[in-house]
Amino acid sequence: MNQHTRFNLPICLAVEEDAFFHSDDIVKRYIPDIIGQKAIVVSEEFLIGIYKEKITDISRDFGNAEIVSMNSASFDEAVAIAKKVCIEDIKVIIGIGGGRVLDTAKYAAHISKAVYICMPTSLSNDSLASPFSVLETYGKARKTFACKIPTAIIVDTNMIINAPVGQTLSGIGDTIAKHTALYDWKLSASKTSSQVDDFAYALSRMSFDSVYHCDQQDMKSRVFIRILSRALVMGGLAMEIAGSSRPCSGSEHLFAHAIEEYYPDIKISHGLAVALGTIPACIFQRQDIDGLLSFFKAHGLDVDPASYGITKDMFADMWEKARTVRTGRITVLDEIKHDRVQLDEIYSRMAEGI
Ligand SMILES: [Zn+2]
């Protein structure tokens, strides 16, 4: 198959101040025939409470679109929304929220073939524009499903500036993780018959570079938020072009998946978990960690596993589990032996700030 006929790009990417107040004008600029089509807004109860005015305004702009408050970020919920969309001849789904809402709305749009407009209220990870949705399946077990990327992405910089700092830090963590993910992708290609897609590689590398080398380090500044928004979107597009999550997900993500699946009581966001995994991954890959460490310090990203309640034993077990949590994904973990002494040493160094 010709690789370059199988990916989609969003028609619209707007990163503007107060964009949520004129989202209809933005959409109209790119997809004029969307206005007047039946739409629904998908969000969550607490967000509808906090952003009542903005969400009502967006609903009004899209023909008094019904506001649906989702109950869970699950496969069943996405299917229920898709069912409503198909039965009621709804053509447009507008997702307003964080990762949970956006993944559910994105998958509902994928199943129902509706146009999907993505409007994030925080920048906590790169699922924003990615061709994947992480949804609950049976109970709290989660699975990643391939899906269509959004038709339009509208980021309101004012909204993101006012979001909790932890969310933005998580988005930074997911961007920084590309450093070790890209190394693992190349390593995997050299060990198998698979190839690295140069364009997807370059996009993901640029996404990392734009945040890593950004002069503006104030997370509340508009410049930084614009850069981070675009970096996360470019990460998503790199995955779409590569046809896999490889440009953005390597051994550091396997570590995070091991925490999510085997240690659900550890309260750490996806972005912070992958950021934490980046340091040991870098050491396993024999890459220099000094630059990353100064970046972590400058942004107040904590490198001490104990600060998230991760003990030395858990840390070693998480890395052991990371080897098997996603079978078939070759990373540096396939190149090294499980070495408890080395892991304990890395843990101690991280606890001391390295
Ligand atoms: Zn990620």
Q: How far is the CA of 66 from the centre of ligand 1 (A)?
A: 31
b/e map 111-147, b = 16+ CB within 10 Å: bbebbbbbbbbbbbbbbbbbbbbbbbeeeeebebbeb
Residue 62 and residue 208 in one domain: no
Residue 203 and residue 344 in one domain: yes
Domain stops at, among 143, 163, 183: 163
Residue 170 and residue 159 in one domain: no
Q: How far is the CA of 259 from the centre of ligand 1 (A)?
A: 13
Structural domain tally of the chain?
Answer: 2
Instruction: Report how far residue 232's alpha carbon sits from residue 207's, in angstroms, rounded to the nearest whole number.
Output: 7
pLDDT per residue over 160-176, tens digit each?
A: 999 999 999 999 999 99
Residue 242 and residue 172 in one domain: yes
In a domain, 171, yes or no: yes
Q: How far is the CA of 125 from the centre of ligand 1 (A)?
A: 6
Domain stops at, among 132, 163, 194: 163
Residue 2's pLDDT is what?
44
Residue 148 and residue 174 in one domain: no
Residue 77 and residue 101 in one domain: yes
Q: How far is the CA of 88 from the centre of ligand 1 (A)?
A: 34
Does the structure show a pLDDT above 60 at 250? yes
Domain with residue 201: its CATH number is: 1.20.1090.10
262 pLDDT tier (thresholds 50, 70, 90): very high
What is the pTM for the complete model shown?
A: 0.93
Cα 117–chain centre separation = 16
Q: How far is the CA of 53 from the centre of ligand 1 (A)?
A: 31
In a domain, 223, yes or no: yes
Give ∠ CA 198-201-204 in degrees, rounded to 5. Answer: 150
Residue 215's pLDDT is what?
87
Q: How far is the CA of 331 from the centre of ligand 1 (A)?
A: 15
Domain stops at, among 120, 136, 163: 163
**In 3-state terms, what secondary structure has residue 43?**
strand
Q: How far is the CA of 62 from the centre of ligand 1 (A)?
A: 32
Q: How far is the CA of 18 from the centre of ligand 1 (A)?
A: 27
Q: How far is the CA of 24 from the centre of ligand 1 (A)?
A: 30
Residue 145 and residue 129 in one domain: yes
Taking the alpha carbons at both ends of the chain, their separation in whole angstroms is: 47
Residue 80 and residue 138 in one domain: yes
Beta bridge partners of 220: none
Residue 142's pLDDT is what?
86
Q: How far is the CA of 15 from the centre of ligand 1 (A)?
A: 21
> Is residue 139 left, alpha or beta, with left meaning phi > 0 and alpha meaning psi from -120 to 50?
left
Q: How far is the CA of 249 from the centre of ligand 1 (A)?
A: 6
Q: How far is the CA of 70 from the centre of ligand 1 (A)?
A: 23
In a domain, 292, yes or no: yes
Helical segments of the chain, H only? 23-30, 45-50, 52-61, 75-87, 99-112, 157-161, 165-176, 178-191, 198-212, 222-242, 251-262, 270-284, 290-299, 312-322, 340-351
Q: How far is the CA of 230 from the centre of ligand 1 (A)?
A: 15
Q: Which amino acid, residue 346?
A: I
Q: How far is the CA of 94 from the centre of ligand 1 (A)?
A: 23
Q: How many CB atoms lie within 10 A of CB 250?
A: 32
- Phi and psi, residue 67, nearest 5°: -100, 115
Q: DSSP letters of 45-82?
A: HHHHHHTHHHHHHHHHHTTSPEEEE-S-SBHHHHHHHH
Average pLDDT on 344-348 reads 97
Q: How far is the CA of 273 from the centre of ligand 1 (A)?
A: 9
Residue 274's pLDDT is what?
98
Which residue range forms the structural domain that includes residue 228?
166-351
Average pLDDT on 253-270 reads 94
The CA-based diameter of the chain, rounded to the nearest angstrom, is 64
In a domain, 310, yes or no: yes
In a domain, 2, yes or no: no
Residue 122's pLDDT is what?
94
Domain with residue 49: its CATH number is: 3.40.50.1970
Average pLDDT on 10-24 reads 93
Q: How far is the CA of 260 from the centre of ligand 1 (A)?
A: 12
Q: How far is the CA of 90 from the centre of ligand 1 (A)?
A: 31
Residue 338 and residue 242 in one domain: yes
Token reading at 127: 């699922």
Token reading at 71: 């109950």
In a domain, 95, yes or no: yes
pLDDT per residue over 294-331, tens digit each?
A: 999 999 999 999 999 999 999 999 999 999 998 889 99
Q: How far is the CA of 41 from the centre of ligand 1 (A)?
A: 25
Q: How far is the CA of 14 from the centre of ligand 1 (A)?
A: 22
Q: How far is the CA of 236 from the centre of ligand 1 (A)?
A: 10
pLDDT per residue over 67-94, tens digit each?
A: 999 999 999 999 999 999 999 999 999 9
Residue 141 and residue 209 in one domain: no
pLDDT per residue over 88-122, tens digit each?
A: 999 999 999 999 999 999 999 999 999 999 999 99
Q: How far is the CA of 285 from the centre of ligand 1 (A)?
A: 19
Among residues 243, 157, 231, 230, the alpha carbon closest in space to that of 199 is found at 243
Residue 120 and residue 184 in one domain: no
Q: How far is the CA of 102 from the centre of ligand 1 (A)?
A: 14
Residue 178 and residue 94 in one domain: no
b/e map 166-190, b = 16+ CB within 10 Å: ebbbbbbbbbbbbbbbbbbbebbbe
In a domain, 257, yes or no: yes
In a domain, 1, yes or no: no
